[in-house]
Amino acid sequence: MLYVVGVGICKEHLTKRAIELIKNADLIYGSKRALKLAEDYISCEKRLIKYCIEEYSRIEKESIDKNVVVLSTGDPMVSGLGSKINGIVEPGISSVQLALAKLGIDLCDVAVVDAHAKKAENLEELLKLRHLLILADKNFDVSVFGDKEIYLIENLCMRNENIIFGKAVDLDVKSDYTIVFVRR
């Protein structure tokens, strides 16, 4: 059996179901961060995952004879591994949910854009319809929003978490773990 399990982004955010799936696994894959978030519940072999189609295919084949869990930080269906690996998805608390809770913004009022190691397109068009929440990295240039006031939420759930509010032209993304929030 193959499960893709969301481990949240904070250690305390693992669900009871996720903990049970992790405890009952024969083999666990994940990033360093995902494995660290779940470490208290792992009692089997663990491996660092390689993010490529060949690895996903190999894991799927391996799960024919073993109970395999692939850990995904946040929620596997929010820019995660849930759509890349053919397994049963167990949701987790995503950085999107946590950021919006901190800002007091309803998810239904937001367009979520993944610009982490990708180019974000049509931002102006999306902003006409909804607020924007952008999963960003150091290469994302917030100056595209000009004089608009934005929030930068850096390193959510980490020791150096920082929320910055200001005009986009005055701000820079400094962390690969940044969420940019732009009001419509």
Q: What is the pLDDT along the chain (184 residues), one digit of tens a residue?
A: 999 999 999 988 999 999 999 999 999 999 999 999 999 999 999 999 999 999 999 999 999 999 999 999 999 999 999 999 999 999 999 999 999 999 999 999 999 999 987 788 788 888 999 999 999 999 999 999 999 999 999 999 999 999 999 999 999 999 999 999 999 9
- Which residue matches tokens 């509010």? 165
**Interatomic CA distance for residues 109 and 78, integer angstroms:** 16
Q: Give the C-alpha separation, 31 to 49, whole Å.
A: 6
User: Phi-psi region for residue 122, left (φ > 0), alpha (ψ -120 to 50) or beta?
Assistant: left
pLDDT value of residue 11: 87
pLDDT given for residue 119 in this prediction:
80
- Provide the pairing of β-strand 68-72 with 131-136: unpaired
Residues of the chain with CATH 3.30.950.10: 96-182
Tokens of 10: 């904070």
Q: Would you state the pLDDT for residue 121?
A: 79
What pLDDT is recorded for position 116? 80
CATH topology classification for 2-93:
Cobalt-precorrin-4 Transmethylase; domain 1 (3.40.1010)
What was the pLDDT predicted at 122?
Answer: 83
3-state SS, one letter per residue, for 28-74 = EEECHHHHHHHHHHCCCEEEECCCCHHHHHHHHHHCCCCCEEEEECE
Predicted confidence at residue 40, as pLDDT, reads 97
Report yes or no: 169 and 157 within 8 Å, Cβ to Cβ: no
Asked whether 151 and 165 are in contact (CB, 8 A), the reply is yes
Class of domain 96-182: alpha beta
